[in-house]
Structure 1
Amino acid sequence: MKVIVLKKRYRIKDNTEFQHVFKNGKSFANRQLVLYYIERPDQQHFRIGLSVGKKIGNAVIRNRIKRYLRQAFQELEGKIKPSSDIIIIARNPTKQMNFHQVKKSLIHLLSKKQLITKK
């Protein structure tokens, strides 16, 4: 399996940008993930921020979850609305999930909020 890295300019890293999305954006959740998003019409490409808290597990588990989420976003890249900032917060059940389950959960959230096109 070839691992494709999501370009760093497509990531939200700065705390002030995270806070902006939390305060001004909308949220939606399922049992595994919480989605915060805000529309940014001036953007050419969507940006993502990932948050996996220490309650979920050790660094190995947290990094695996983030890797799964980045890979899922990479595979869905052409289908996601380009004008959005998206923050994903992982919940406790994600530590038992494999990549395909994480991707399915992510697709569920994105499609519920029309952030993904069904092609």
Structure 2
Amino acid sequence: MKKEFRIKKNNDFQAAFKRGRSFANRQFVVYSLEKEEQDFFRIGLSVSKKLGNAVTRNRIKRYVRQAILELQDQLALGNDYVIIARKPASEMDFFEVKKSLTHVLKVGKVLKKNNF
């Protein structure tokens, strides 16, 4: 995922937390903040140290980034998304992470329907 599509600044994270909508399932919490002036979506990831060591946390982040990359055609543009991983995400493989993220994004109504 390109750097311009990532949220890195604390102010951007705080804006999503304060003004964005949140939706969750057991594995992930997603905050979505609409931005009309933005033509693309941005992703911010938060994985707590409580979930495991650096290897585990980085694996979760890789899985989430890859899942978002595969779902990017269906995601609503013009939004900032902050994804927070919860404890059960540390024991999941990639396909479970993608399925769980798809579910939580559908709950939040930010994932377009597949027309295949």
Length-normalised TM-score, structure 2:
0.96
Cα distance, 1:118 vs. partner?
A: 1.1
- Paired residues of 2:22 and 2:108 also in contact (CA < 8 A): no
**Hey, what's the Cα distance between the residues in 1 that align with 2:75 and 2:23?**
16
Question: Are residue 34 (structure 1) and residue 29 (structure 2) matched?
Answer: yes
1:47 aligned partner: 42
* Secondary structure in structure 2 of the residue aligned to 1:85: strand
- 1:10-89 superposed matches below 5 A: 10-89=5-84
* Secondary structure in structure 2 of the residue aligned to 1:88: strand
Cα distance, 1:43 vs. partner?
A: 1.0
Deviations 1:5-60 (A, max 9, x none): x1110000000100010011111111000111111111111100000000000000
* Secondary structure in structure 1 of the residue aligned to 2:73: helix
Cα distance, 1:94 vs. partner?
A: 0.5
Note the residue ranges of structure 1 that are not aligned, 5 or more in a row. Answer: 1-5
1:3 aligned partner: none
Note the residue ranges of structure 2 that are not aligned, 5 or more in a row. Answer: none
**Hey, what's the Cα distance between the residues in 2 that align with 1:41 and 1:62?**
32
Deviates more, 1:61-70 or 1:19-28: 19-28
> Cα RMSD over matched residues?
0.6
Q: State the identity as a percent.
A: 54
Cα distance, 1:83 vs. partner?
A: 1.3
